[in-house]
Amino acid sequence: MSVFNAIDEERDIDVNEFTPSLEPQATWCPGCGDFGVLKALKQAMPEVGRTPDETLLVTGIGCSGKLSSYFQSYGFHSIHGRSLPVARAAKLANPDLEVIAAGGDGDGYGIGGNHFMHTARENHDMTYIVFDNEIFGLTKGQTSPTSPKGHKSKTQPRGNAKSPIRPLSLSLTSGATYVARTAAVNPNQAKEILAEAMEHDGFAHVDFLTQCPTWNKDAKQYVPYIDVQDSDDYDFDVHDRREAMEAMHDAEDALYEGKVLTGRFYVNDERPSYQQEKQSTGDMPETPLAERYFDDDYEWERSYDFLDRHK
């Protein structure tokens, strides 16, 4: 008998299902933006219609990486920067799973930058949430790839000589098909965007602005933000690559000038996901690979049949 019977299409899903019943003490600092991500994610789940048991959340290391501890679903708390490769393969092995990867800006744009670029390029069908607090939180406040130029920390005492990374444009140029930015201080938008990202058929990247009141005094929660979709000043077509790129450039320039632009920046519904591409070249089975190990009727082929060519 199959071990996978859970997929339960028509069921009302309650937000509380995603809260562990024996909840571990969340070890985030009071006022940390990470609480906002957790809340938005829980609230997005019923909209997507996936239960905790159908969901796999893979996290990296950092304060952000602890998300999987406080969110009830299948979880994999992996290693620093490597949530994406773990998540990618789980999705390939069992495409029925709702796969979400999450980590910090250090985790995702620093040590895991290579994986970020390639996962976006391949357009894996998954959601990637980056907790962007412009700082290394868990290791106590070092400069991160999104820290502003001139930022001072123990590792950059004379001020950061590097310009920050541009995550939205990087994501778009790498191949992501859904790119958005939201913020912990805007829970409604955050929930909506996360739900949309999960429903998107391809690599959805959400740069999630969070505050780190402990290490980053320039925390963005005090800054007014503008939803680019609600504002008449930002009239661009999210489906148009070039227009999206321009909007991203504006958003990325403005961020360090104190203006926070959030919302959807790019949506491409046309490009097939990696899984679809792989299936179309015959490189991936139609039914989930993982299920096959429990299918009693499946005929396992043997290497014996290849031996002929060596005789």
Partner 1 sequence: MTDDELIWRIAGGSGDGIDSTSQNFAKALMRAGLHVFTHRHYPSRIRGGHTYVEIRAADHEVKSRGDNYNFLLALGDSFARNPQEEAYYGNEEIKPLSENLDELREGGVIIYDSGLLDTDDIPDFDERVEENNWHVFDLDLRGLAKEHGREVMRNTAGVGATCAIIDLDLEIVEELMSEAMPEKILEPNLEILRESYEDVKENYDTDVGVTVPESEHDEEQILISGSHGIAYGAIDEGCRFISGYPMTPWTDVFTIMTQHLPDLGGISEQVEDEIAAASLAIGASHAGAKAMSGSSGGGFALMSEPLGLAEITETPIVLVESMRAGPSTGMPTKPEQGDLEHVLYTSQGDSNRVVFAPGDARESYIQTRKAFELAYNYQIPSIILYDQKLSGGHETVTESTFDREPNPDIGEVVTEEDIEQGERLAGRFKRYRYDGEDGVSPRSLPGQKGGNFLASGNEHNEAGHISEDPDNRVTQMDRRMEKLDAIRDELDAMDESHQTVYGDEDADYAILNFGSTKGAVEEAVDMLNEDGHSVKAMNVSDMVPFPKNEVNSFLEGVDEALVVEMNATAQFRRHIQAATGKHGDKLFSLLKYDGNPFEPTDVVDGFEARLDGSAEPAHNTRIESATGD
Ligand X SMILES: Cc1ncc(C[n+]2csc(CCOP(=O)(O)OP(=O)(O)O)c2C)c(N)n1
Q: Which residues bind partner 1 (CB under 8 A)?
A: 1, 3-8, 20-22, 24, 52-54, 56, 58, 61, 66, 68-69, 72-79, 82, 84-94, 96-97, 114-115, 117-118, 278, 282-285, 289-293, 298, 300-304, 306-307, 310-311
| Distance separating alpha carbons of residues 229 and 301, to the nearest angstrom | 53
Q: Does 61 bind ligand X (CB under 6 A)?
A: yes
- Mask for 144-163, x = binds ligand X (CB under 6 A): x-------------------
| Distance separating alpha carbons of residues 23 and 11, to the nearest angstrom | 24
- What is the nearest approach in angstroms of ligand SF4 to the Cβ of residue 161? 24
Handedness of CA 94, 95, 99, 105 (dihedral sign): positive
263 interacts with, out of ligand X, partner 1, ligand SF4, none, CB within 5 to 8 A per kind: none
Q: Which residue has the tokens 């937000």?
A: 15
CB burial of 41-79 (b: ≥16 within 10 Å; e: otherwise) equals bbbbbbebbbbbebbbbbbbbbbbbbbbbbbbbbbebbe
Q: Does 63 bind ligand SF4 (CB under 6 A)?
A: yes
Tell me the residue number closest to ligand X, measured at CB: 104
Extract the tokens encoding 66: 């602890």
- Mask for 127-146, x = binds ligand X (CB under 6 A): ----x-x-xxxxx----x--
State the CB neighbour count (10 A cutoff) for residue 210: 30
Q: Which amino acid is at 79?
A: I
Q: Does 41 bind ligand SF4 (CB under 6 A)?
A: no
Half-sphere exposure of 209 (CA within 13 A, CB side): 28
Q: Where does this chain touch ligand SF4 (CB under 6 A) — which range of 90-98, 156-164, 210-218, 274-282? A: 210-218
Residue pair 40/191 in contact by the 8 Å Cβ criterion: yes
Cβ-count burial of 17 within 10 angstroms (0-12 exposed, 13-18 middle, 19+ buried)? middle
- What is the nearest approach in angstroms of ligand SF4 to the Cβ of residue 219? 9
CB burial of 120-151 (b: ≥16 within 10 Å; e: otherwise) equals bebbbbbbbbbbbbbbbbbbebbbbbbbbeeb
106 interacts with, out of ligand SF4, ligand X, partner 1, none, CB within 5 to 8 A per kind: ligand X
Q: Where does this chain touch ligand SF4 (CB under 6 A) — which range of 15-23, 133-141, 226-234, 258-266? A: 133-141
Q: Give 27 or 231: the residue with its C-beta nearer to ligand X.
A: 27
Q: Does 144 bind ligand SF4 (CB under 6 A)?
A: no
- Among 34, 98, 105, 132, interactor with ligand SF4 by CB under 6 A: 34
| Distance separating alpha carbons of residues 272 and 17, to the nearest angstrom | 32
139 interacts with, out of ligand SF4, ligand X, partner 1, none, CB within 5 to 8 A per kind: ligand X
Name the nearest CA neighbour of 33 among 113, 112, 137: 137
- What is the nearest approach in angstroms of partner 1 to the Cβ of residue 125? 14
Q: Give 115 or 151: the residue with its C-beta nearer to partner 1.
A: 115
- Among 116, 208, 215, 236, interactor with ligand SF4 by CB under 6 A: 215
Q: Which residues bind ligand X (CB under 6 A)?
A: 61-64, 80, 103-107, 131, 133, 135-139, 144
